[in-house]
Structure 1
Amino acid sequence: MSDEQVQTGPGTQTRRTLLAGAGAVGAAVVLAACGDDGGDGAAPAGGSAPAGGAPSVGDAEGGALARTSDIPVGGGAVFAAKGVVITQPEAGTFKAFDPICTHQRCPVSNVDAGTINCTCHNSKFSITDGSVKGGPATKPLPEKQIKVEGDRITLA
């Protein structure tokens, strides 16, 4: 009989149970890092927006996705939980796009150096119109409608 098969009394755990529990905790940590942590999925101003970043302004402000000051000029932010990428190609001009890459449906991961980037296969999309700037994607990101009211950005 191996260590994993030894009969144990109530309250004791086998090595298999401990390893399975450790694996489950590790998986939960990885998924939490990739998923929604209660935030809005945006990164702070600076051009890059990983999928789990900045404090949420969402529900606390009547459905606002972000403040205009959260979206850097020449950059943007990915709001994975809200299903949108918001960019500011030039000062005061805000655009929004679907955050799912048109190549193989991976979520885009960040906005950097004037492009919305999918790190699954390195597709790049324009922050101005969602057009493809680098493949393998061949179709642009679909545009989404947003409203800018004061310093708040909401879905239209």
Structure 2
Amino acid sequence: MTQTDDRSLEGPSRRTVLASAGLGAVGAVGAASLAGCGSAQQTASDAAGSATNAVKDAISKATVPVGGGKIFADQKVVVTQPTSGDFKAFSAVCTHQACIVADVSDGTINCACHGSKFDITTGAVKNGPASSPLPEKKVTISGDGISVT
């Protein structure tokens, strides 16, 4: 008489099922992470592309402080006045991960997302992690107004 091994008829063990479920969950999380990463890259790309838009209305020179600047987040532009009467404009989209810069103080344009700082005169990186300067925009002054393209 031959003895039958009943385990071969039972199907996968509990350990095999649990391990497979765990790998499936890891795969789902990984896929979600990758999808999120792609979305972030797409958003960054969109923001950088939108930064080429011009400021629609003239900006009053009086709204841009000497030695500082003003951010126009909806237009993705920052206008600075390093010295009296000298106006500069840059993309307000941080070159690190496409956050909109948060403020202008102490001679720098500052991104709150990861701490990058850019020079208000040149847009050059003063503090990383950004490694590229903010792209400069063309400034046209007419009377008391500033136009940016």
Question: What interval of TM-score do these two structures reach, taking the shorter chain for normalisation?
Answer: 0.5 to 0.7
Instruction: Say yes or no: does 1:95 pair with 2:60.
Output: no
Unaligned runs of 5+ in 1: 1-57
Max Rg structure: 2
Compare the two structures and name the one with the higher helix fraction: 2
Q: Which residue of 1 aligns with 2:28?
A: none
Instruction: Say yes or no: does 1:69 pair with 2:57.
Output: no
Give the Cα–Cα distance (whole angstroms) in 1 for the partners of residues 100 and 119 of structure 2: 16
Instruction: Say yes or no: does 1:82 pair with 2:75.
Output: yes
Give the Cα–Cα distance (whole angstroms) in 2 for the partners of residues 81 and 93 of structure 1: 23
Q: Which residue of 1 aligns with 2:119?
A: 126
Query: Which one of the candidate residues 108, 116, 138 is aligned to 1:115?
Result: 108
Instruction: Say yes or no: does 1:154 pair with 2:139.
Output: no
Q: Which residue of 2 aligns with 1:27?
A: none
2:96 corresponds to which letter in structure 1?
H
Query: Which one of the candidate residues 145, 148, 152 is aligned to 2:138?
Result: 145
For 1:9-28, what aligned pairs fall within 5 Å after superposition? none
2:110 corresponds to which letter in structure 1?
N
Q: Kindly report structure 1 stretches of 4+ aligned residues shifted beyond 2 Å.
A: none
How much has 1:97 moved relative to structure 2? 0.1
Give the Cα–Cα distance (whole angstroms) in 2 for the partners of residues 114 and 151 of structure 1: 23
Structure-2-length-normalised TM-score: 0.61
Q: Which has the higher contact order (CA 8 A, sep 6+)?
A: 2
Query: Which one of the candidate residues 129, 135, 146 is aligned to 1:136?
Result: 129
How much has 1:142 moved relative to structure 2? 0.2
Give the Cα–Cα distance (whole angstroms) in 2 for the partners of residues 87 and 108 of structure 1: 13
Give the Cα–Cα distance (whole angstroms) in 1 for the partners of residues 77 and 129 of structure 2: 21
Deviations along 1:5-41, one digit per CA (max 9) or x if unpaired, are xxxxxxxxxxxxxxxxxxxxxxxxxxxxxxxxxxxxx
Give the Cα–Cα distance (whole angstroms) in 2 for the partners of residues 83 and 146 of structure 1: 15
How much has 1:112 moved relative to structure 2? 0.7
- Equivalenced residue count is 95
